[in-house]
Amino acid sequence: MSLTLTLALLVAALALAVFAGWRGSRPWDLTRGVRMIPWRFIMLLSGAAILVLAIHLGTLMGVPQRPY
């Protein structure tokens, strides 16, 4: 993956994590029905994607890897 694609995916995952965190923290409104989208799980998945993309960004930038 190129640097620009990695940065774009990182920004998109960060925006999704912030949006899902905001939607997941809102109080329940039972008059509107149940929530059909698991916002907290989406926030967790996008946080994992942010971690993987940050590591990939570091390798693209030339951060030395730990020797075995």
Inside any domain, residue 66: no
Q: What is the pLDDT of residue 31?
A: 86
Please give the residue range of the domain that contains residue 49.
Answer: 3-26+36-61
Residue 31 in any domain: the answer is no
C-alpha dihedral sign at 10, 11, 17, 18: positive
Mind listing the pLDDT tens digit of every residue in the chain (68 residues)? 899 999 999 999 999 999 999 998 888 888 887 778 899 999 999 999 999 999 999 999 988 877 77
Q: Is residue 21 part of a domain?
A: yes
Tell me how many domains the chain contains.
1
How far is the C-alpha of 27 from the C-alpha of 25, rounded, in Å? Answer: 6
Query: Is position 67 within any domain?
Result: no
Contact 4, 60 (CB under 8 A): no
Q: What is the three-class DSSP state of 11?
A: helix
